Amino acid sequence: MRLIPSCKEVQTLATEYREGALPFSQRLRIRIHLLFCWACRAFLRGLAALPRIAKLASRPQPGTPEAAKDALAAALAAIRKG
């Protein structure tokens, strides 16, 4: 195991890193990598933004017909149920 992980390793573990699910040693290795790698820092910022972007994208836009709003609400409710 290398001290500093590759970009591929960081991106593979990015979700677990953001959720705090990695052991301390792996988090530390990733933090060291992030000190030097702007691309992986940008990747993690993008990953962190995804929930907000998805929420914004699922909002009905002004002027959207009521039937479309109702269909979107029904689809989102079905997704939440599983």
| 3-class state of residue 63 by DSSP | coil
CA distance 21 to 26: 10
Tell me how many domains the chain contains. 1
Picking from 45, 49, 22, 24, the residue whose alpha carbon sits closest to that of residue 34 is: 45
> Does 66 map to a domain?
yes
Write out residues in the chain with pLDDT < 50, as ranges.
none
pLDDT of the residue at 1: 54
pLDDT of the residue at 10: 95
> pTM for this one?
0.63
| 3-class state of residue 3 by DSSP | coil
Structural domain of 20: 7-81
CA distance 60 to 42: 29
> Does 75 map to a domain?
yes
10 Å Cβ neighbour count for 53?
Answer: 10
> Does 38 map to a domain?
yes
